[in-house]
Chain A
Amino acid sequence: MRDITSEKTTHPVLIFWIIAGWVGFCLLPWYGVEDFWHLEWFVNGWPVDTDYAPAVFLLVQREKLWLAPLLPALIAPLLVLRRRKTDPVFAKVLLAAGGFGFAWLTAQGLGIGIRGWNADWLQALFGPLGDRQYGMGYGALVAASAFLFLFTQGIAARGAINGDVFVTGAIGGVIAVVTIFVFFPIAKLMVAAFVTEEGSYSVLTFLGKFFDDRIWGLGCLTGTRCGVAWNSLFLAVLVGVLTTLLGLVFALVLTRSGFRFKTGLRALTVLPIITPPFVIGLAIILLFGLSGAATTWVADLIGVRPTRWVYGLPGILIAQVLAFTPIAFLVLIGVVEGVSPSMEEAAQTLRADRWQTFRTVSLPLMRPGLANAFLLGFIESMADFGNPLVLGGNYDVLSTEIFFAIVGAQYDQGRAAVLAIVLLGFTLAAFYVQRFWLGRKSYTTVTGKGDAGVHPEMPRGLAIPVYVVAGLWATFTVVIYGMILYGSVVQLWGVDNTLTFKHYLTAFSIRLEDGGIRWTGSAWDSFWTTMLIATVAAPLTAAVGLVTAYLLTRQDFAGKRSFEFGTMLSFAIPGTVIGVSYILAFNVPPIEITGTGLILVISFIFRNMPVGVRAGIASMSQLDRSLDESSLTLGANSWQTFRRVILPLLRPAILAALVYSFVRAMTAISAVIFLVSARYDMATSYIIGRVENNDYGLAIAYSTALIFVMLAAVGLLQLLVGRTKIGRRLAHEQGGA
């Protein structure tokens, strides 16, 4: 069957991309147009007006002549349309045309900017240009995609990855976007680490900043303070271990116990992830701070002066464990559910008792989940910014230091870049330790062979401590959220406790007039923007993440390791650094998107994609390859296999990715604060403004409203995506309920 497909002389995918290339070059405006979707450009002088003209009309008017070399690259693929895929000329022409087109497009974009030549040596080589160009628009975007996919089809035609057009295209696409939106901005920022005060470059400057005592000092062993690097590392390891343990506890209670209130517990574990920043911190201060309810109560009880014990490591630890346990839980629940009961049943048939089964079969099979959960907790803690800011006291960590190196009283981009490198070093080290620990073992248990059985319950010796921990944690979460809800309906939190709804009214009032609704509340603007951006970003994030996970677990290709590294990179870098590097990279042509909603969407996609990747990898490494193979043998291509076989089995991972990216788009702050603009203000930056202005009531009321909106959204997503139906488990649950 394979042979027949490759002997065909019609290539629908090729035709599609050739047409796309021509559309981009001849019909769409080549350069960026403000408010593209209002289509005003269409009636305002298109296609002749040079602001809105497609590339071909520019060339006809003898403008932007450096775009001309793209024409032969568009014409060449037309010549091989009638040829066979196995014909060496077919592959060669596509490779040359796509490769040259893409390279030329990139080179001219980087080489020529708003002030003519971008580099002095170009000026020296070719003389003054006397012309300039702005940021690329949809025409350039579509043409660039066309060149890229022509190139990958060339690679496929040469026989790479069994000539699979979908897989080569996916690899090429992911590499291109990750390079543009992760490597490029980070590289721009990293260069700053080597810039001296005079503006030249020096390794000595870097070394001087790197081996600073404020980063690596070990003073805490002798009574003074330790460097920020050690503080961050210690905190992140603690948070990683604790969140993984707690996540596992909740996952076990939900899948392997007869616990009655599973839905309630599930909702409770999701709550912290959908809480806007600062709110948990504020609640913890009101509970455990110097004048906090719990602190004063205990102090009265044992007759001592209240202290500021919560500021520093204890406070950050409580807040982060509360905030990041849900992430560990979301990763682990998929994995714990995915361990096939057949294995456990086999162990029990061989006379292992429940405890032995759990320790020697279930737990080792959960290793990929445990490792991924730890990694996520570790990285999240490293990059977290809101909690250390509110609760850190004098316990400095890398993420806040980076933020204040950039926005603080001394604008020191070099120091920020050096601190970012340290942070990156830690997260990458964690990444490699995790891989080493997982080793080359196989964790596959769900295979194509019939999956029978139900999960056994936990052994009793494990069940009791698990129940106690889950119970305590659940109570604590309820108390914290009770306080938040209460805080949104009192006049002035902590001072004047009269009940009132005025905060909600200020934020969300509406007025009916002239048969329409007027959104008069102060929060509506940022609310609708946030909803829009979160709704656009979530499915894109999930898609990019899962396709990447599929490539990483299912396909072998050269450079896979660096590919994996690249996709994880953006997650390991705190949002602050992403925010600043995005401004540096995308405020100038060729890609000029600051001040738009697009830059927010893109920053969310690439910051949250790694969660989709990790969740996808964790789930996919449990699905036996024989499933794909049988699908392929039966004549499906890899795209069909991905869509019909793997995707349905990945529902927990899809849900995790969708929920996480939607929620993150609504609650993230550190990158956002640099990227919001007057027209695209986000809920979190609005809330921070309220907190800065002492308007705690409004901030908490807004946050509470957001929590309910996100709960509804998560419920809706769960309904839309549906559950995985593996084996008889669902039937059992329904029967058991």
Chain B
Amino acid sequence: MRPIVVGVSLFTLSAGMAEAAGKLSLYCAAQEEWCQVMARGFEDATGIDVDMTRKSSGETFAQIKAEASNPKGDIWWGGTGDPHLQAAEEGLTEPYVSPMRAELHPWAISQAESAGDRTIGIYSGALGFGYNKDLLAANGLPEPKCWEDLTKPEFKGQIQIANPNSSGTAYTTLATMIQLFGEDGGFDYMKRLHANVNQYTKSGSAPIKAAGQGETTVGIVFMHDAVAQAVAGFPIVTVAPCEGTGYEIGSMSIIAGARNLEEAKQFYDWALTAEAQNLALEVNAFQVPSNKAAQTSDKAPDLATIKLIDYDFKKYGSSDERKRLLAKWDSDVSTLPQ
């Protein structure tokens, strides 16, 4: 009897030691390859097993909210900042001050400060648009350079943008116009743009994919998405609008009630290092990294040459302001005849 008991306890001991390296459940809201290299990179760096689930930002937020009473995920990496801010507002994420903060750009830290340290910026990307040069030539249209160009009558039926009710990208566009032209001017712009829009897509990056396939001439998207299309071989030209533009801050948050909190913090610190952020270059992600020492792709839009507005994430990321603006867009813009 005794040898068996000893054997069993040895077995449990060794099993326990194998588990000591720990595991981490990562919810990733960037593109698949990027998520993969982040998960594998962290495994290589620490020996911690990573279970990675990739979904869009909205889906991830919906899942974290649904799982709130019994969280399954530990950390949420990537995706546009608004849902991260909203999760922070609802207490779905955990405050954490990383020792890595000194190495970050100020915009990344201000993202953290506006959310009570419940989230932090990991990359940023500017809003803009891209056009299909073949279709532009076929339709005999002038090269658009500014937001204003897109409202010219000759662009009627040539422009695609997502529906701000379903897409964070399009909501960023709406908020950008309001900050550029004032609330009345911004809505006036959206109304004039509405006359030229051929389709409001559901997903934020769909317009530039349609442009790549030759299904629309112009797509209003984040510039790094347009660059990715061009790099993939589609005839897309990326434009930084002359009036200036808004931007998003891709974020990371630790999920409140995480089962592997220590590992989540380890990932958090690691993901803010220059080495981790350089992984983006391997997978054609053209966002601007938040670590000052991280490299930027030469194909990526250079944020220094783009006129960026002073985007107020706190105000335009809050649920109340968002609801008010979307309701106004619904009643004043979307109902107009095209």
Contacts and interface: CB of A to CB of B under 8 A. Distances in A.
B199 A678 contact: no
Contacts of B69: 114-115, 587-588
B311 interface: no
Given A291-B213, A693-B31, A410 B322 contact: yes
Nearest to B323: A410
Contact of A44 (B15, B52, B61, B322): B15
Interface of B: 8, 11-12, 15, 25-26, 31-33, 51-56, 58-59, 61-63, 65-67, 69-70, 72, 82, 86, 135, 157, 163-168, 170-171, 198-200, 202-203, 205, 209, 212-216, 228-229, 232-235, 322-323, 326, 330, 335, 337
A486 to B, nearest CB: 16
20 contacts: A223-B337, A224-B337, A289-B214, A291-B215, A308-B215, A404-B58, A409-B165, A409-B326, A410-B322, A410-B326, A495-B234, A592-B70, A595-B72, A674-B62, A678-B26, A678-B51, A678-B52, A689-B31, A693-B33, A694-B234
Contacts of B12: 43-45
Contacts of A689: 31-32, 54
A408 B213 contact: no
Which 4 A/B pairs are nearest by Cβ-Cβ distance?
Answer: A291-B214, A407-B58, A408-B166, A678-B51
A285 interface: yes
A358 interface: no
B23 to A, nearest CB: 10
Contacts of A676: 53
Nearest to B216: A290
A694 B53 contact: no
Interface residues of A, number: 55
Contact of A409 (B26, B212, B322): B322
A223 B325 CA distance: 25
Contacts of B26: 678
A594 B67 contact: yes
Nearest to B71: A587
A588 B54 CA distance: 22
Given A43-B8, A308-B198, A496 B166 contact: no
Contacts of B215: 285, 289-291, 308
A214 B66 CA distance: 26
Contact of B65 (A411, A679, A693): A411
B263 to A, nearest CB: 14
A224 B202 contact: no
B92 to A, nearest CB: 11
A290 B166 contact: no
A495 B233 contact: yes
A659 to B, nearest CB: 30
A224 B63 contact: no
B199 A311 contact: yes
Contacts of B322: 409-410
A580 B65 CA distance: 11
Contact of A285 (B54, B65, B170, B213): B213
Given A410-B326, A689-B32, A674 B54 contact: no
Contact of B61 (A411, A587, A594, A681): A411
B213 A114 contact: no
A409 B82 contact: yes
A594 B330 CA distance: 36
Contacts, number: 142
A552 interface: no
Given A492-B233, A694-B232, A677 B53 contact: yes
Nearest to A686: B32
A81 interface: no
Contacts of A291: 135, 213-215
Nearest to B199: A393
A162 B224 CA distance: 71
Contacts of A403: 202
A502 B165 CA distance: 39
Contacts of B326: 409-410
A587 B168 CA distance: 27
A692 B216 contact: no
Contacts of A681: 53
A583 B335 contact: no
B285 to A, nearest CB: 10
Contacts of B323: 410
Contact of A411 (B15, B55, B86, B232): B86
B63 A494 contact: no
Contacts of B164: 409
B165 to A, nearest CB: 6
Contacts of A584: 66
B190 to A, nearest CB: 15
A673 interface: yes
A463 interface: no
Nearest to B231: A694
A343 to B, nearest CB: 51
Contacts of A407: 56, 58-59, 61-62
B58 A408 contact: yes
A389 interface: yes
Interface in A223-255: 223-225
B72 to A, nearest CB: 5
Interface in A455-503: 491-492, 494-496
A584 B64 CA distance: 11
A43 B4 CA distance: 11
B59 A673 contact: yes
Contacts of B82: 409
A91 to B, nearest CB: 41
Contact of B202 (A225, A404, A580): A404
A311 B235 CA distance: 22
A394 B213 contact: no
Interface string A32-48: 00000000100111000
Contact of A587 (B59, B66, B203): B66
B63 A583 contact: yes
Contacts of A492: 232-234
Contacts of B52: 678
A410 B242 CA distance: 30
Contact of A114 (B51, B70, B170): B70
Contacts of B167: 408-409
Nearest to B52: A678
A673 B55 contact: yes
B51 A679 contact: yes
B53 A400 contact: no
A583 B67 CA distance: 7
A674 B209 CA distance: 24
Nearest to A225: B335
B214 A494 contact: yes
B171 A409 contact: yes
Nearest to A290: B215
Given A407-B62, A409-B167, A289 B213 contact: yes
